[in-house]
A and B are shown apart, each in its own frame.
Chain A
Amino acid sequence: MFELFIAMVKEEWRVHSTMFGSLSFALFPFLIFGIAFMGSFLIPVVKRTLPVGNLSIIIHAMYLMLGLMVGGFGMLGNEVMNRRFGQASFLAYSARSLPISERTIFANFVVKDTVYYFFLWVFPFAFGYILAAPFLGIPLSSTLFLLLTLTLSFLFGLCGIFFLSTVFSWSKPVFWAFLLLLGVGFGGIMASGLNPAILFPPLMLHEEFSWWNLGLSCIVLAYLFVVSLWLFNPESVGSEKKHPDLFTPVLGRLSFLPNPPLAAKDAVDLHRSGSLIGQTIFSFVVPLGVIWFFLSLMAQFFPPHALLFLYAVTTGVIASTMYTWVTMFDAFGPYACLPVAVSTLIESKLTTFTILQIIPAVFIAAVSILAGEAAYLVPAVVLGLSVSFYAVGIMAWLCGLSPNVLVYDVKVLFEYLLLVGVVITVFSALSFINPWYALGSVILAVPAWLFIRQAKIRWDAVDPQGF
């Protein structure tokens, strides 16, 4: 099985590197390393305003988030093979030609993803911190121990989302019951005056090393992994279930939009793949829930109302990734036989994206009310949506129809972080000064429109990528 694992790692590397050249992709971990190394020198500054305990919670939360994001990408139970690989002849399909079960292949696939993304994201980040530690007077042993607990946090995110998604595809009532139970337990702990974060096994281990704490983390991880694998059901892949015509009524309802057939196809894709619910939960609500929890721990370090606007900006950035939901199903290939230009396809994907923005709008509004900040509901929603549209404009300009892949191009990621980072810093600061200044973010519609216009020109001028 080791050969299969190695082959899958090579395959993943080649999929990414062929899109923008091996060197550009190979530089990605170095970029992460550089950010972590330089960021480490800010720790003494941050420590002056933030207690060490909270800083450790935030860093572990970041790694948990990273695991959730990596795991959430593509791991939606039964559809995982089709969604991740489409009709391409990847090794994930080798059960058809080799004497290996689909479950074994899937286990290899998960292990491969874990190892691959560990070396792509987790290790470079931790290594940056490790190398910076001597300059900051931090003992090497504590940095290595941090690497261990952060790795466990990452694995908790990955296996957690994997577990939730397989439960979701196995039985929706059980999934909702489990979430309810989790919510009640979480609420109960908070009501008792305890901080639930301290019950997070990797954090428990970080606070106090003991073999028991290490064992607990490993047992929970193994349990999540084994149960997920046990629940994974490959049988539905390739079934010949018949479906009623959904396209025609959806086409009728969306006839007011530009390019109705393309929008209708996207809507059917989202519905049938389970993505509308699945992605909303795993790539939107869960990450934002985690962010809200950790941000709320820092409420005392921000000006009044600032937390809501910081959250609105974060929601906006995460909402912009909904563009990846609608571009992940198909490359340009299936449209190549039709009179459709790449620019038309980008336009239609952005139309679907615009409809999906109802989700972040409602989400920010709900958070505003729940946080007792209903008075600032409108500026918070405006800020969140403006950031989302601005960020998606940049994403479309930089990545065209392949944001899921091109994010690993160092140049693309750097440009994205720079262009989005500057703007969110400015508008976060403005909303901190005066919440109503957030309304000024509507001005972002202008650069968003310009980026989208340039995206259409740019991607029409290059050969469409088939992948």
Chain B
Amino acid sequence: MTAVIKADNLAKTYGDVQAVKGVSLSVEKGALFGLLGPNGSGKTTMIRMLTGQTRPTSGSASVLGIDVTQDPVGIRARVGIIPEQETPPSFLTAMEYLKFVAAVRQIPEIGKKADWWFDFLDFADKKDVLCKDLSRGTRQKLMFTQAFIHEPELALIDEPLINFDPIMQDLVKDYLAKYVKNGRTIFISTHILEVAEEICSEFAILHKGTLLHTGPVADLKARGEHLPAFFLSLVGKGRHV
């Protein structure tokens, strides 16, 4: 198996706060890898480091064989990213934003692909509306579309389901599960444990910047354990009223 993501003792400090403390992990090609953790556990910082949006304080990492500090733009050219809470630029319409993304990524023609996504995620009626006027859910659909429209070999997606209704969540979960079957890889950060258990092949648990566990979901299931209970046993000790 080929590792598409390798992190070695990766750490990030913001002022006095150690957001990520020496995390080492490896993600194989074709995996649907779930990075799990409570709010503030360092998940977003991990994705930001792996996509070159922020520099590690120490340690090293490579994505698709590219060092994250050496060529972050090269990484972003080859992967798809859904950043947490980022929204598309205000004064472009949804369709114009996809055309903008296509032009930046040098995708020659996206008309049919864009139409497919508008239909698939059920927001064709919003394609000519300015991004600033879209609802949170529709913006999330647009950000999801821009991450996958160029069919990247690896997608790093941060809480992609958070603003979706249950029907849309189901649709997207199905899409992600099928996406990795073609040898492509997804690195998903989420705190919705049921989703992770349902679609992820491997997972890691991050808590207060420290990696507590990493391994295949199948191993858990083989032991007759469920991911939510396992997660709470590691992270949620003593937090019940």
Which A residues are within 8 Å of any B CB, using their own CB?
Answer: 82, 86-87, 238-248, 251, 260-262, 264-265, 268-269, 272-273, 329-330, 333-334, 336-341, 344, 463-464, 466
Contact = CB atoms under 8 A, between A and B. Distances in A.
Nearest to B99: A247
A82 B53 contact: no
Contacts of A238: 133
A246 B87 CA distance: 20
A339 B128 contact: no
Contact of B74 (A87, A334, A339, A464): A339
Contacts, number: 106
A247 B114 CA distance: 15
11 contacts: A241-B129, A247-B93, A261-B103, A264-B103, A269-B89, A330-B90, A333-B86, A336-B86, A337-B81, A339-B105, A340-B76
B103 A336 contact: no
A239 B133 CA distance: 6
A239 B130 CA distance: 9
B126 A268 contact: no
Given A87-B87, A241-B130, A269-B89, A337 B82 contact: yes
A464 B97 CA distance: 21
B10 to A, nearest CB: 15
Contacts of A336: 48, 51, 53, 81, 83, 86
Contacts of A244: 128
| Chain A contact residues: helix, strand, loop or mixed | loop
Nearest to A461: B55
Contacts of A273: 90-91
B171 interface: no
Given A247-B96, A269-B91, A340-B76, 14 more contacts: A239-B133, A243-B130, A247-B92, A330-B90, A333-B83, A336-B81, A337-B51, A337-B83, A337-B147, A338-B105, A339-B77, A339-B104, A340-B104, A466-B86
Contacts of A239: 133
A45 B80 CA distance: 64
Interface string B66-84: 0000001110110011110
A245 B105 contact: no
A82 B81 contact: no
A246 B96 CA distance: 8
A336 B88 CA distance: 11
B146 A265 contact: no
B133 A245 contact: no
Interface in B115-134: 126, 128-130, 132-133
A82 to B, nearest CB: 5
B92 A240 contact: no
Contact of A242 (B87, B129, B143): B129
A268 B90 CA distance: 10
Nearest to A269: B91
B90 A242 contact: no
A240 B126 CA distance: 8
Which among A238, A246, A261 has the greatest number of chain B C-beta atoms within 10 A? A261
Contacts of B23: none
A243 B126 CA distance: 10
Nearest to A340: B104
A245 B86 contact: no
B230 interface: no
A87 B85 CA distance: 9
Contact of B92 (A241, A242, A260, A265): A265
A466 B83 CA distance: 12
Contact of A330 (B80, B89, B99, B128): B89
B90 A82 contact: yes
A87 B135 CA distance: 11
Given A247-B96, A261-B103, A333-B83, A339 B73 contact: yes
Contacts of A337: 51, 76, 80-83, 86, 143, 146-147
A239 B99 CA distance: 22
Contacts of B126: 240
Contacts of A261: 100, 103-104
Nearest to A83: B90
Nearest to A466: B86
Contacts of A87: 87, 90, 132
A240 B129 contact: yes
Contact of A268 (B48, B73, B92): B92
B101 interface: yes
Nearest to A82: B132
A338 B76 contact: yes
A203 B226 CA distance: 77
Contacts of B211: none
B218 to A, nearest CB: 31
Contacts of A272: 91, 130
Contact of B89 (A240, A334, A466): A334
B100 A247 contact: yes
B133 to A, nearest CB: 6
B76 A339 contact: yes
B95 interface: yes
B201 interface: no
B54 interface: yes
A383 to B, nearest CB: 34
Contacts of B88: 334
Contact of B91 (A262, A329, A339, A463): A329
Nearest to A462: B55
Contacts of B96: 245-248, 268
Contacts of A245: 93, 95-96, 99, 128
B192 to A, nearest CB: 21
Nearest to B158: A337
Contacts of A339: 73-74, 76-77, 104-105
B86 A334 contact: yes
Nearest to B97: A247
Which among B89, B101, B105, B126 has the greatest number of chain A C-beta atoms within 10 A? B89
Contacts of B83: 333, 336-337
Interface string B18-58: 00000000000000000000000000000010010111000
A268 B51 contact: no
B6 to A, nearest CB: 21
